[in-house]
Amino acid sequence: MTDTSLIEPDVLHNVLGAALAHGGDMAEVFAEDSMSASAMLDDRRVEELSSGRSRGAGIRVVAGETTGFAHTSDLSEAGLLAAAAAAASVARDGGGGVRTVALSFGPRASNDRGAKTLPSSVPKSTKLDLLTRADQAARATGGSISQVQVGCGDSRRRILIANSDGLLAEDDQVRTRFNVMCVANGDTGMQTGYESLARTEGYEIFERFNVEDIARTAAKRALAKLSARPAPSGEVPIVLAGGSGGILFHEACGHGLEADHIVKDASVYTGQMGKLVASPLVTLVDDGTVLGEWGNFAVDDEGHAPARNVLIENGVLTDYMWDWLRARKEGRASSGNGRRQSYQHLPMVRMTNTFLLAGHENAAEIVAQTPSGVYVSKLGGGQVNTTTGDFVFGTTEAYLIEDGHLTEPLRDANLIGNGPEVLRRIDAVADDFDMTPGTCGKDGQSVPVGCGQATLRITGVTLGGTA
């Protein structure tokens, strides 16, 4: 961890005391020093080379059902005491709910420590060399590649959390990402392919992962779609490739298992604890402890250690995800799922790395045992209604299954269905588990998450194709 804290212990003590001086159940200080950098090569030109920094603290005071919250970029004792007074004043007003007070900006500071190869220690020329190598590899994959966009980004986020229950925790999170998007031109028009790498690590990831491989994967996806036929319409069996379908379960099932939706009766899983809600082949886990994955951290944004939370076990709903506020009302401990986008935001229940455990079948055999259907190699974005579980997801790489074989590539289409129903229709799970990084949005806040699963088959999902 760091040699020095963002805020000295005696200052924290004074600020927490001031926050509770006029009553309240709990006071919390969340301090953050965050740095980020990004670079982008578009059509062989450097289109972006930027960096940024954010530093400040949010102070939360909870009094009964009322939460007072104030944030400031002034980390001096005077600035923090002013924020504490503002948050305490809001909490004392009562009436329930949340009100936010933003205070004036103050001075910025600098610090530099981190992972094995801290991104800030990597020369810009090295980053640009990675982009150039990927660009060249993508273009060399096929003459039909007409445009390549390559991007890399990194961030370092130091946080400190202290509260009036005596908790004091710190974390130093370094994340690095690399992504390639290719455009191919052909008789069917322009087709795109995308691939990314994202890890909670420093630039040492490029000692294990080859940027040329990432680029070739993106290019091959674009080239394959040049000969794609329209996807069929109607309900068909779907085989989801390992790692590619994790986003579906994150959106269609994971959000409905966050405790804030449960306590508001805004989830299809409310009142289902202990009941069979999925195929017995399904065990769904949320686990922020998985080292290196995009949703990994040492403590959540309320200072609690992440945990391996089994949400559905052998088809039976066993638990929800909890932050401190919702867990407190239920008389239980947080599950380490309290997360926030920055010091300017209140924490809420969020997923970390959410995945279905692998099974014991062979992925190729699952395809071979599917007479007809669609093999989805990569899913795109989607949306879900947590109250009903209904979802829509786009496919970005898919193939027709005919007589147990992958045949023609398919144009992009939509998967339309219901989360709980999809969980019940899983009838085969392979052993080729993989993870995919992503960014999860909720109530205006975005946080890094991981999604994963092994190759699996769903007996029927509505495919919104054009054939």
Considering the entire predicted model, what is its pTM?
0.92
- pLDDT value for 178: 98
pLDDT digits 0-9 by tens, 368-389: 999 999 999 999 888 888 889 8
Residue 106: is its pLDDT beyond 80? no
Please, which residues have CB within 8 angstroms of residue 335's CB and are 6 or more apart in sequence?
Answer: 286, 307, 309, 319, 321, 322, 327
What domains lie within the chain, and their CATH numbers? 9-227 (3.30.2290.10), 233-464 (no CATH)
Which pLDDT belongs to residue 102? 54
Q: Where do we find the tokens 């490029």?
A: 206
Using CA atoms, how far apart are residues 284 and 281, in angstroms rounded to an integer?
A: 10
| Cα 350 to Cα 438: distance, rounded to the nearest angstrom | 13
What is the rounded CA–CA span in Å between residue 330 and residue 421?
29
pLDDT in tens, 160-216: 999 999 999 999 999 999 999 999 998 878 999 999 999 999 999 999 999 999 999
pLDDT exceeds 70 at position 68: yes
The confidence score (pLDDT) of residue 467 equals: 65
Choose among 67, 116, 71, 112: nearest CA to 93.
67
What does the pLDDT look like over 421-449, one tens digit per residue? 999 999 999 999 999 999 999 999 999 99
